[in-house]
């Protein structure tokens, strides 16, 4: 069941990559590249840093199939209605939360301590978005504004606290997931921002 | 013999990196960095993802020697005559095709299935050019326009089809190579482009 | 003792990353990311290319603790007095030299030959700064101007020559360190630049 959620997360991130490619004026090949790096870039970076081989998308053709299908469909439609954009934002929040929690569990299974595992979870959730923005010539949005990766961090920390308090893994996973997704959706609804420290002149 | 062709491909890509560095106003160190990442960036990325160690350019000093020589020579000349640019474009098409076919064979030998192997071949051929453009502050040209990576993909797919049809490896390799290089050269000659999907407003 | 110097180098690079993040208008999360990649990006890239796992900052919590503390302190202060900037530049030159020499020793221990080891040392010293600039939307400064990575290269080459001449490792290390740091500081003091090869029109 987690596998199917994972594929949905990959599909949502692929759509977001394809939309960014159309905005940046890339061609069809660029669109497929941007959809792929957005969808599997974070997990790939995590697996490289953890030395987990072969990479998940090399073992299982489902990932690439979902990415190509979602990217081409997005290109064919060429626009998203306001209600589709709304649904995409909610799906993206769920994908973010899911990738964060999957990432921290993968890191735990690889024997990492808490802080590096937190980093790995955050990177799984947000690394693809960073590469997407670098490739389309932008300073990554999620480094500049919005409670995005921070929502992932909050969900992971809650998960780690609950685990340390003795909660079973599945329960902690679900609570962390709801926390991360909820915080992300609340940040969109109320336009919450992190402070941007400035240089005092 | 393949080894010598490989070195020629590396040299051609190093020249292309050095030219990009001069256009971006980099200094001599930046020029060497850009020549190197263009020439061996794609293969390095492929080997990292496939967990092939030690990396090819760590085992064999020939690669770095060719890169440094080609980069410094390009910097010393400081311009390319129109006929030299023409020769460079043809050599670049051959390098693209060669790297694509070498990349897919390396991936096959590592036990990859067809779709991931296709990705690895494409990445070997075009990854260095993407990093070159990111480092010189541009949205990668090959994500925006031109039949470039797409020519590599076509050659690889043809190679895979011929192999599946029972053709011996060497024959499929040569046919794929000619297809990729020929398609790239035709795309230059006739200014073929991929469609760029746009957002409908 | 080397370990403590290493942590100081990490802290200095984290401050430099945090300052770049404030200049680029990133938020608090972006500031932590930029501080981290500047401080441990070069070493991480080196260890990935050399297949050294687990990564140094996964094994030892000291690195992340120093990075977060230095980054938050920089954000809280929000400016550096001219004398603090002066001290930072000197500390940065020492960090550059230290990372270069540590990097080349790590590469030697991994069995690399001289030229790849030189590349690994240079990458350890300057890779983090390149990623920092790419993420903040700039063509990396150290590819464009200043004797920066070149000072690291000079120190490493001197170290390698002294080792080849039979000098003990520690002595060669210290001489290389002084050479790299001294050259960097002299380049700042006298505004030395590398030539920037241009395209002849």
Least Cα separation, residue B81 to chain A (angstroms): 30
What letter would DSSP give residue B90?
H
ipTM of model: 0.93
Residues with Cβ within 8 Å of A155's Cβ and at least 6 positions away in sequence, in order, are A97, A100, A101, A176, A177, A178, A179, A180, A181, A183
Q: Are B112 and A78 inside 8 Å of each other by CB?
A: no
Distances (CA, A) of C104 to A33, B126, C7, C74, C110: 35, 30, 18, 30, 10
Instruction: Give me chain C's average pLDDT, please.
Output: 94
The model's pLDDT over A18-35, given as tens digits with 9 standing for 90+, comes to: 999 999 999 999 999 999
The model's pLDDT over A104-123, given as tens digits with 9 standing for 90+, comes to: 999 999 999 999 999 999 99
Chain B touched by A24 (CB under 8 Å): yes
Q: Are C78 and A143 inside 8 Å of each other by CB?
A: no
Chains near A, with 3+ CB pairs < 8 A?
A: B, C
User: In whole angstroms, what is the distance from residue A124 CA to residue A108 CA?
Assistant: 13
**What residues of chain C lie within 8 A of the CB of A148, using their CB?**
29
Q: If you average pLDDT over residues A33-59, what whole number do you get?
A: 96
Q: Over chain A, what HEC string results? A: CHHHHHHHHHHHHHHHHHHHHHHCCCCHHHHHHHHHHHHHHHHHHHHHHHCCCCCHHHHCCHHHHHHHHHHHHHHHHCCCCHHHHHHHHHHHHHHHHHHHHHHHHHHHHCCCCHHHHHHHHHHHHHHHHHHHHHHCCCCCHHHHCCCCHHHHHHHHHHHHHHHHCCCCHHHHHHHHHHHHHHHHHHHHHHCCCCCCCCCCC
A198 found inside a domain: no
Counting every residue written for chain B, the total comes to 201
Residues A98, A177 contacting (CB under 8 angstroms): yes
The model's pLDDT over C118-172, given as tens digits with 9 standing for 90+, comes to: 999 999 999 999 999 999 999 999 999 889 999 999 999 999 999 999 999 999 9
**What residues of chain A lie within 8 A of the CB of C21, using their CB?**
143, 197
Chain A touched by B81 (CB under 8 Å): no
Output the pLDDT for position B65: 97
Q: Is the pLDDT of residue C79 over 80?
A: no
Output the pLDDT for position C198: 86
**What residues of chain A lie within 8 A of the CB of B148, using their CB?**
29
Least Cα separation, residue C134 to chain A (angstroms): 7
Chain A touched by B139 (CB under 8 Å): yes
Chain C touched by A45 (CB under 8 Å): no
Residues C98, C104 contacting (CB under 8 angstroms): no
User: In whole angstroms, what is the distance from residue A49 CA to residue A112 CA?
Assistant: 11
Chain B touched by C195 (CB under 8 Å): yes
Output the pLDDT for position A199: 82
**What residues of chain B lie within 8 A of the CB of C52, using their CB?**
none
What letter would DSSP give residue B24?
T
Least Cα separation, residue C41 to chain A (angstroms): 12
Q: Would you give per-residue pLDDT tens digits along chain B (201 residues)?
A: 788 889 999 999 999 999 999 999 999 999 999 999 999 999 999 999 999 999 999 999 999 999 999 999 999 998 778 888 888 889 999 999 999 999 999 999 999 999 999 999 999 999 999 999 999 999 999 999 889 999 999 999 999 999 999 999 999 999 999 999 999 999 999 999 999 998 876
Output the pLDDT for position C63: 96
The boundaries of the domain holding residue C46 are: 2-190
Residues B37, B134 contacting (CB under 8 angstroms): no
Chains near C, with 3+ CB pairs < 8 A?
A: A, B
B44 found inside a domain: yes
B121 found inside a domain: yes
Residues A11, A88 contacting (CB under 8 angstroms): no
Q: If you average pLDDT over residues A130-158, what whole number do you get?
A: 94
Q: Are A27 and B145 inside 8 Å of each other by CB?
A: yes
C198 found inside a domain: no
Q: Are B27 and C130 inside 8 Å of each other by CB?
A: no
Q: Is the pLDDT of residue A201 over 70?
A: no
Taking alpha carbons only, the member of A152, A164, A163, A168 closest to residue A118 is: A152
Taking alpha carbons only, the member of A65, A80, A128, A42 closest to residue B197 is: A80
CB pairs under 8 A between B and C: 81
Residues B135, B20 contacting (CB under 8 angstroms): no
**What residues of chain C lie within 8 A of the CB of A193, using their CB?**
27
Output the pLDDT for position B82: 85
What's the domain count of chain C?
1
Output the pLDDT for position B201: 66
Output the pLDDT for position C87: 87
Q: Are C29 and A112 inside 8 Å of each other by CB?
A: no
Query: What does the block give as tokens for C119?
Result: 């590349």
Q: Is the pLDDT of residue C201 over 70?
A: no
Query: What does the block give as tokens for B71?
Result: 């980069």
């Amino acid at each position: 069941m987690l596998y199917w959620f994972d594929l949905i997360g990959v599909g949502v991130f692929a759509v977001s990559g394809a939309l960014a490619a159309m905005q940046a004026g890339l061609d069809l090949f660029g669109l497929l590249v941007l959809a792929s790096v957005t969808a599997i870039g974070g997990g790939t970076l995590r697996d490289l840093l953890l030395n987990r081989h072969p990479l998940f998308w090399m073992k299982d053709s489902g990932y690439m199939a979902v990415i190509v299908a979602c990217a081409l469909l997005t290109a064919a439609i060429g626009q998203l209605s306001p209600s589709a954009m709304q649904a995409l934002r909610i799906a993206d929040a769920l994908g973010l939360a899911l990738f964060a929690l999957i990432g921290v569990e993968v890191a735990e299974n690889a024997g990492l301590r808490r802080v590096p595992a937190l980093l790995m979870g955050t990177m799984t959730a947000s690394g693809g978005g960073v590469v997407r923005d670098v490739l389309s010539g932008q300073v990554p949005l999620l480094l500049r504004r919005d409670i995005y990766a921070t929502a992932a961090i909050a969900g992971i920390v809650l998960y780690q606290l609950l685990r340390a308090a003795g909660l079973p893994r599945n329960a902690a996973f679900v609570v962390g997931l709801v926390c991360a997704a909820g915080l992300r959706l609340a940040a969109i609804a109320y336009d919450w921002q992190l402070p941007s420290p400035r240089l005092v002149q």
